Amino acid sequence: MSEKSFQDYYPESLQHCYGCGPKNPEGHHIRSFWEGEESVARFTPKEYHLAFPGYVYGGLVASLVDCHCVGTAAAAAYRAEGREPGTNPPFRYVTGSLHVDYLLPTPLGGELEIRARVEEIKGKKTIVTASVIAEGKVTAKGRVIAIRMPEHLRPDPG
Ligand SMILES: CCCCC/C=C\C/C=C/C/C=C\C/C=C\CCCC(=O)SCCNC(=O)CCNC(=O)[C@H](O)C(C)(C)COP(=O)(O)OP(=O)(O)OC[C@H]1O[C@@H](n2cnc3c(N)ncnc32)[C@H](O)[C@@H]1OP(=O)(O)O
């Protein structure tokens, strides 16, 4: 079996996110993995994910940064406690803030790499920064503030 991504550990009730839910048939299915201190996701946009001919729609780039960074925040919370994902108490996160700087047009046609790093874990808040890389160049940089999901939003009892 192939390696499990962060998103494969999400409970069933959270597996329907349009960006990263493995169970959303219409979604992007973003999958994130640790590579040392960084987390990495790879995604190949479809030909219709364009902003203008030859280049990727910025909203898609933002979605990649968003889901990859929120997943990284969750994974980092378990890692910081030296716990396996899926153990209790569970860590669930939502996006509080998503900032993207578009440095270069992102070429459409090949695989994009999204590399993220946890800058800070402070109480309910985790700050994650990311780079989007296409053809060896950083085309966008992002910063996400992921916040622990409040009880009232949590669909799963765990
Ligand atoms: C390796 C395996 C990993 C395994 C992981 C397993 C499971 C993990 C599951 C987790 C992932 C879950 C789902 C994944 C699915 C989808 C991901 C996609 C992400 C999204 O698509 S999600 C939708 C968009 N998202 C929203 O729909 C949020 C709407 N919103 C709210 O629900 C509230 O607004 C909330 C909760 C954000 C805050 O409410 P709250 O009451 O908890 O906040 P509170 O006041 O207590 O603040 C506490 C500290 O956060 C700071 N803070 C608060 N808000 C901030 C903001 N906006 N910007 C910057 N900082 C902020 C404060 O400044 C304070 O910071 P400080 O402590 O430093 O003062």
Q: Are strands 93-102 and 55-56 parallel, antiparallel or unpaired?
A: unpaired
User: How far is Cα 92 from Cα 32, in angstroms, rounded to an integer?
Assistant: 16
Residue 77 in contact with ligand 1 by CB distance below 6 A: no
What's the distance, CA 136 to chain centroid?
A: 20
For the question of whether the overall pTM of this predicted structure is more than 0.90, the answer is yes
- pLDDT exceeds cutoff 70 at 158: no
> What's the pLDDT score for residue 2?
75
State the DSSP H helix or E strand holding residue 42, giving kind and residue range, or none if neither: strand 38-43
Report the nearest-CA residue for atom 7 of ligand 1. 10
In Å, what is the CA distance from 67 to each residue of 29, 82, 87?
10, 23, 21
What the chain holds in terms of domains, given with CATH numbers, is 6-153 (3.10.129.10)
Task: Please compute the mean of the pLDDT values over residues 9-17 and round it to a whole number.
Answer: 92
Cβ–ligand 1 distance for 69 under 6 Å, the answer no
Q: Look up residue 87 and give its two tokens.
A: 């153990």
For the Cβ of 65 lying below 6 angstroms from any atom of ligand 1, the answer is: no
What is the residue with the minimal CA distance to atom 62 of ligand 1?
Answer: 125
User: Which residue from 53, 60, 43 is spatially nearest to 134, judged by alpha carbons?
Assistant: 43
Please determine, for residue 155, whether its predicted confidence score (pLDDT) is greater than 80: no
pLDDT at 111: 98
Q: Residue 61 has what pLDDT?
A: 98
CA 135, CA 112: separation in Å to the nearest integer?
Answer: 8
State whether the beta carbon of 93 lies less than 6 angstroms from ligand 1. yes
**Residue 157: pLDDT over 70:** no
Which one, of 113, 142, 34, 18, lies nearest residue 79 by Cα? 34
CA of 70 to the centre of ligand 1 (A): 9
Average pLDDT across the chain, whole number:
95
In the chain, which residue ranges form alpha helices assigned H by DSSP? 58-80
Q: Model ipTM? A: 0.93
Q: Which residues pair with 137 in a beta bridge?
A: 134
- What pLDDT is attached to residue 151? 82
